Structure 1
Amino acid sequence: MEWIILLVVAFFVFVLVVQKLYANTPKHGEAEHRYRQRKTLFTAAERSFLGVLDSIIDPQQHRVFGKVRVADLIEPEPNRNRSQWQKAFNRISAKHFDFVICKADDL
């Protein structure tokens, strides 16, 4: 009787391992995509402009943030139609502002 329980447990462990391995493999027609580190966060022009902003902003009153997603600052109005809301969100989700200036006390 004990060997049956052990066999069932071993089977479930085997199934979980296979599922985990299968979940990490690319699906049919899906190429594995690799990533690489970018050399800089800002272009030379953006870095230059950041220097200008830093020189004129009082850090006690304001903070400068770079590469902020538009969707982190605004969002579509709530809507009963989830599809319409998602379309509106998708229009802004992949866009960003180069720089955002916030009040230091409440951002």
Structure 2
Amino acid sequence: MTWLLIAVVVLAVLMAVIIAAGKSAKGASGQPFPYIKKDCLLTPAERSFLGVLEQAIGGQYRVYAQVRLADLLAVRTGIGRSARTIALNRINRKHADFVLCDKETLEIVCAIELDDASHQQARRKERDTFVEEACRAAGLPLARFVAKATYTIQDVRESIQQVAVIKLEPAPKPNDMESQNPTAQLSPATDSQDKAPVCPKCGGLTLLRTVKSGAHAGKQLWGCSSFPACKGYIPLGKQANR
């Protein structure tokens, strides 16, 4: 009889847990929440650019992605309630692709927009014009970049410094990373290195290397500078390998 009573109590507890879990997955109306997790915060183009951006700023600033304009801009005081509501609504659903902040104080230093082909559409152009004007009025520097397959770190640095007063330490030279890959060596061609593509795996800097051993010995490739932590590479003249 005692065991039967215990079994009944355990069953009741389990039923209560199941019911509570079902309720927690529903909204106030009793309907299930209609949400699913997105695969990734950034698009492949944004992810690749982020790798270059992080190297361009040299760890001197923090980089945040997909930041609401409402978290970057505030509506000034002294305007009516209706005008304030309209102003807030215009920035609530807009985001900056990337934001640079001071590493210590988190002061907002610069907003960055990466423009892909969709920015050629009339509606996107209107949105871009509004964002530029809003940032200009608020005194927030805004740097724009056209999305493309490759970037040079120096160009990214110079573009940011043209709009924002920031101090950046010199970018590391490719030869500083030569010892990171035991099976490949850097090519002496420095001009090609200035146009290095980004790593297809991590979006970081790639180095022009010559394979020293194995079946592909003697061949050149763009190898990730973070090897062996990242083994992404791009054979010269071929598609990226992951």
Q: Same fold (TM over 0.5)?
A: yes
| Structure 1 position 25 matched with structure 2 position 29 | yes
TM-score by length of 2: 0.31
TM-score by length of 1: 0.67
Find the aligned partners of 1:75 and 1:55 in 2 and give their Cα distance: 30
Matched residue, 1:48: 48
Question: Which letter does structure 2 place at the counterpart of 1:38?
Answer: K
Question: Which letter does structure 2 place at the counterpart of 1:91?
Answer: R
Find the aligned partners of 2:78 and 2:45 in 1 and give their Cα distance: 39
Shift of 1:33: 5.9
Structure 1 unaligned spans of 5+: 1-22
Identify the structure with the greater helix proportion: 1
Find the aligned partners of 1:50 and 1:83 in 2 and give their Cα distance: 38
Which ranges of 4 or more aligned residues in structure 1 deviate by more than 6 Å? none
Shift of 1:58: 2.2
Cα root mean square deviation, aligned: 1.9
Shift of 1:32: 6.7
Structure 2 unaligned spans of 5+: 1-26, 107-242
Find the aligned partners of 1:48 and 1:78 in 2 and give their Cα distance: 39
1:25 alignment partner, SS class? coil
- 1:27-63 Cα distance to aligned partner (Å, 9 max, x none): xxxx87611110011000000000001111122x211
- 1:82-106 Cα distance to aligned partner (Å, 9 max, x none): 1110100100011100000111121
Q: How does 1:7-22 map to 2 (within 5 A)?
A: none
* Identity across the alignment (%): 43
Contact 1:68 1:98 in 2 (8 A): yes
Q: Which structure has the higher relative contact order (CA within 8 Å, separation 6+)?
A: 1
Contact 1:67 1:96 in 2 (8 A): yes
2:63 alignment partner, SS class? strand
Find the aligned partners of 2:33 and 2:49 in 1 and give their Cα distance: 33
Question: Which letter does structure 1 place at the counterpart of 2:92?
Answer: S
1:100 alignment partner, SS class? strand
Find the aligned partners of 2:105 and 2:89 in 1 and give their Cα distance: 27
Query: Matched residue pairs, number?
Result: 80
